[in-house]
Amino acid sequence: MTALTINHALGSYPVHIEPGVLVLLRELLGAAVPNRRLVLIADETVARLYDEWTSGTPEARQLGARASDAGVRPSFTARLTFPAGEPSKTRETWQRLTDDLLAAHIGRDAAIVAIGGGVTGDLAGFVAATYLRGIPHIQVPTTLVAMVDAAVGGKVGVDTALGKNLVGAFHPPALVVADPLTLMSLPESEYRMGLAEAIKHGLIADREYFEWLGTNGRLIRSRQPATVTQLVRRSIEIKASIVTEDEREQGRRAILNAGHSVAHALEQVSAWQLAHGEAVAIGLVMECRIAEKLGVAEAGLAESVSAVLQRFGLPVGIPPRVSRTEVLGAMQQDKKNRDGSIRMALPRTIGAMHQQEGGWTVPVEPHVILAAMDQPGAHIST
């Protein structure tokens, strides 16, 4: 079994991507964080699914588990759960989880194992970054969004009323274990969410990958394990190459936020009713339109990106119930902003981002953003 290695100034960590690799979790944890007490953090839904998956039942074996796996899961000193969903990714949940760790007398000899989607990874990683001034954590992503994006890179944090991920830290995991077979239990809508992030990776850094996604739609949508594994691996390779170069988002790492200036604002304004992947899909199209209006991108880029997103059933227009002025207001809180101006990382063409005087973001005037959101086709009907 081979693993990717992601290097950071704080060290390196392996990323295992293979169908069925979850059955080796205990062994991999023993190698990555030896002699540590393990604490499981998962949302309530994933905690139940993980118990079912490791039960050794015929249904579990159909998803890649072996009969011999029953009873050999990692031994957890404590199991902490929280309600599933983005509304749980708050300082209040962080406080409860850290208080639970203290009450259980968990010390610095422990490591946190985050099993679940991006919310779990961000939240549990932030708990690990701050608990007793930092203990190791392991990311075990079980959604496509988490596998291709959230679990890799070391950014952890929580949301606030003023915006998404505004409180957080850089705390790379000790290990990432991504088993594409866990995606078989995802609802179709949840699975599609991760495809928006994969398409983003192709847009920002790899035209060939972008085109591969477009031509392998049937296999990807049917979740063919080998194809999905290839997708996850290539997305992680792209993100890893960018993160390794710019660990703390001082330069090129900003391109990973393509589509996210608009996306995070859409999520906030919709009170999290718009899922992250849906918001990213819409954000990619809107920001491509903005790039075209600024003369940064070639004409027709937004249309090309929109066509691939729609092939996977992803939205490309802002829901009419969402106020464009509220979206613009929420964008004022984006982490990339400087000197009171909204800044965006914008694509130049498929596979390449715009760079200006050594920087990877550009200021965008509010009227340009509003014009992109008002453009015909920018809104969708319900």
Q: What is the pLDDT of residues 289-304, one digit of tens each?
A: 999 999 999 899 999 9
Higher pLDDT, 71 or 293: 293
Task: Give the position of tokens 């969903």.
Answer: 85
- Give yes or no on whether 4-185 and 191-374 have one common fold: no
The sheet carrying 137-141 orders its strands as: 4-8, 11-17, 175-178, 137-141, 110-116, 37-43, 76-82
Helix pair angle (276-293, 260-269), 10° resolution: 130
User: What sign does the dihedral 229-232-237-243 (CA atoms) show?
Assistant: negative
- Which CATH number is associated with domain 4-185? 3.40.50.1970
Q: In this structure, what token pair is assigned to residue 352? A: 């390449």
Topology of the domain comprising 191-374: Dehydroquinate synthase-like, alpha domain (1.20.1090)
Q: Where are the domains of the chain?
A: 4-185, 191-374
What does the mean pLDDT of the chain come to?
Answer: 89
pLDDT classification of 381: cutoffs 50, 70, 90: very low
Q: Which of 51, 53, 70, 71 is nearest to 62 (CA)?
A: 53
Number of C-beta neighbours around residue 25 at 10 A = 23
| pLDDT attached to residue 204 | 97
Task: Give pTM, 2 decimals.
Answer: 0.88
At 177-228, the pLDDT tens digits run 999 988 988 899 999 999 999 999 999 999 999 999 999 999 999 999 999 9
Over residues 27-69, the pLDDT tens digits come to: 999 999 999 999 999 999 999 888 876 666 666 555 555 544 5
Q: What average pLDDT does the segment 339-353 reach?
A: 92
The strand ranges marked E within the chain are 4-8, 11-17, 37-43, 76-82, 110-116, 137-141, 155-160, 163-170, 175-178, 343-344, 347-349, 352-353, 362-363
Q: How large is the average pLDDT for residues 13-26?
A: 90
Active site residues: 133, 155, 197, 239, 249, 253, 257, 260, 264, 276
